[in-house]
Amino acid sequence: MANIASQKKRILRTERERVENRQLTSAIKTHFHRLEDAVEAGNAETVESEHRALVSRIDKAVQRGAIHRRNGARKKSRAARVATGG
């Protein structure tokens, strides 16, 4: 454990940021699984809404810095492929 007060605060802040990033990335994975399930079920309305929600989550994670912008672009491209069935 650190002895310097600013380093103690930094450790707490880093842990808080790590947990937040994990929540954002986990939500992306959850939405991707939901999208895949909707495609398997064949419900076009659900596929469209899940795809829209997934893209929104990815954009928010990129904006917050939880994932890199190219990683976000790759995930959105993969989601679009799954949603269109291609």
The pLDDT of residue 2: 87
Q: What is the pLDDT of residues 11-43, one digit of tens each?
A: 999 999 999 999 999 999 999 999 999 999 988
Of 42, 12, 32, 20, the C-alpha closest to 81 is 32
CB atoms within 10 A of CB 32: 19
Global pTM reads 0.87
| Residue 41: both structure tokens together | 């079920």
Could you tell me the pLDDT band of residue 1, with boundaries at 50, 70 and 90? confident
Mean of pLDDT over the chain: 95
Q: Hey, where are the domains in the chain?
A: 5-84
The pLDDT of residue 85: 79
Above 90 in pLDDT, residue 10?
yes
Residue 35 CA: distances (Å) to CA of 54, 63, 74: 8, 22, 16
Q: What is the pLDDT of residues 32-72, one digit of tens each?
A: 999 999 999 988 999 999 999 999 999 999 999 999 999 99
Superfamily of domain 5-84: Ribosomal protein S20 (1.20.58.110)
